[in-house]
Amino acid sequence: MNVGKFSGSESRAADNSDKIEFSCGALTGELMEHALPRRLSMNVQDFQKMKDAGRKISMVTCYDYSSARAVADSNIDCILVGDSLAMTMHGYQTTLSATTAMMALHTAAVARGAPAKFIVADLPFLSYRKGLKDAMDAVHELMSAGAQAVKLEGVRGHADIVRHIVDSGVPVMGHLGLTPQSVHGLGGMKVQARTNAAVKVLTAEARELEEAGCFAIVLECVPTPGARRVTELLRIPTIGIGAGTHVSGQVLVYQDVLGLNPGFKPKFLRVYANTFDVIRTALNAYDSDVKSAAFPSESESYSDLQSTEQRGTKRTEHPAQNGRGSGITVASEISH
C-alpha cells in the first residue's frame, strides 16, 4: 500500500492502493474526531468494484458503540445507521420519529465503535423534502458525525436534491421498493412491485437515482423478478432486504440477525443467533447468584484493605484527564 501524507482539505484517495494519511497537527478532541478521515476497509468505489467482480456486498444496520465494536470485529463490509433505530433503539412504531439529531448521535457512536467500516447514515423522515437548505443541513450533520455516505428513500420530487448532495462530494445511497418513511402513503408495510406495471415504475425510478449519481440502491421487499431486473439494468449495485438473491448485496437489521427482536419473523429474515435467549439466561443466572450471595466470590472482591486503597486511588478521572469527554472509570486500572 502506498501511503502518502498531506495536511488540510484534500479528500481521501479513490482506492486503497494510494491512500493518503491526513495530518493536521493543531486539531484536538472533538474537532479532531470529526475532521480526520478514518482509515476504512472499503470506500465508495469498492461498491461498484464488487458488483463488477460479482462479489456480494454484506451490510448490517448498527446504532450504538458496543454493537459497532462487534461489527468492527466481523467480516461485514459496511454499516447502515438506519432510521429503523427509531423502532429498534427507541421503541417507536415507525421510522417517522427519527430526527436528524438522533441519527447524528447514533452515527457518531457507531463511528467510534467501528472506525474502519464504511458507514451510511439515513436521512430521516422529511429532512430532504423541505428544500435544499434543510436537506444540506441534515447531510452536513450526518457527515460531521462520522458517516461516509447518506441514504434517502424514493426519488419522486427530490432527484435534484440527490444530484446536489452528490455534486457536493457526498455519496448517496438510494432506497426503493418498500420505503418505510412512506408507510402511511403505501397503506402499511407491504411487499412492493408485485405487478409488471409496478416493476416498470421501480426500474424507471432506479434509473433516475442512478442518473442523479447514487452509488448504490437498497431494494426493500421487492419480489425476486423485479429486484433481478433492476440489478441487471443498472450499472450501480443493489442491496436487497427481502429482495431475493439476484441483487448485489444484502442488508439486515442487527437486532433481527441476532434474534434480539423476538416475534418479528418476516419471510425474508434469517436469524443467526438467539441472542435474546442468551441474554435472558445470563441475566437470570446473575440474578440468581446475587440473591444466593454466590456473586461476588472471594476472587471477585477486593479483600486486601491496603492494596485496595493503593489501587483504588486512580479509579475515576476528570474528563480533561482521560480525554474521553466524561468521568468514566478506566477498566484497565481496576482489573487487578
Kindly state whether residue 71 participates in binding ligand KIV, applying the rule CB under 6 A. Answer: no
Applying CB under 6 A, which part among 78-86, 103-111, 199-207, 320-328 lies near ligand KIV? 78-86
Q: Measured in whole angstroms, how far is the alpha carbon of residue 177 from the centre of its chain?
A: 20
Question: Is 251 a binder of ligand KIV (CB under 6 A)?
Answer: yes
Q: Could you tell me where the DSSP H helices lie in the chain? A: 29-35, 44-52, 65-72, 85-88, 100-113, 132-144, 159-167, 183-186, 196-212, 224-233, 254-257, 275-291, 305-312, 319-322
Interstrand relation of 118-122 and 149-151 (parallel, antiparallel or unpaired): parallel
Scanning 80-88, 225-233, 260-268, 303-311 for contacts with ligand KIV by CB under 6 A, the matching segment is 80-88
Q: Does 113 bind ligand KIV (CB under 6 A)?
A: no
Quick check: 82 binds ligand KIV (CB under 6 A)? yes
**d(C-alpha 278, C-alpha 297), whole Å:** 23
253 is a contact residue toward ligand KIV (CB under 6 A): yes
By CB under 6 A, is residue 216 in contact with ligand KIV? no
Quick one: which segment of 77-85, 100-108, 189-197, 269-277 binds ligand KIV (CB under 6 A)? 77-85
Shortest reach from residue 152's CB to ligand KIV, in Å: 10
Instruction: Give the contacts of 336 (CB within 8 A, at least 6 positions apart).
Output: 311
Beta-bridge mates of residue 220: 177, 241
Contacts of 260 (CB under 8 A, 6+ apart): 254, 275, 276, 279
Residue among 211, 220, 309, 333 flagged as catalytic: 220
Partners of 172 in the β-ladder: 150
232 is catalytic: no
| CA–CA separation, 279 and 22 (whole Å) | 41
Q: Is 176 in the site for ligand KIV (CB under 6 A)?
A: no
Cα distance between residue 250 and residue 136, in whole Å:
28
Assess 61 for contact with ligand KIV (CB under 6 A). yes
Least distance from C-beta 80 to ligand KIV, angstroms?
6
The binder of ligand KIV chosen from 64, 122, 205, 210 (CB under 6 A): 122
> Which residues make up the interface to ligand KIV (CB under 6 A)?
61, 80, 82-84, 122, 175, 218, 220, 241, 251, 253
List residues with catalytic annotation.
Answer: 220
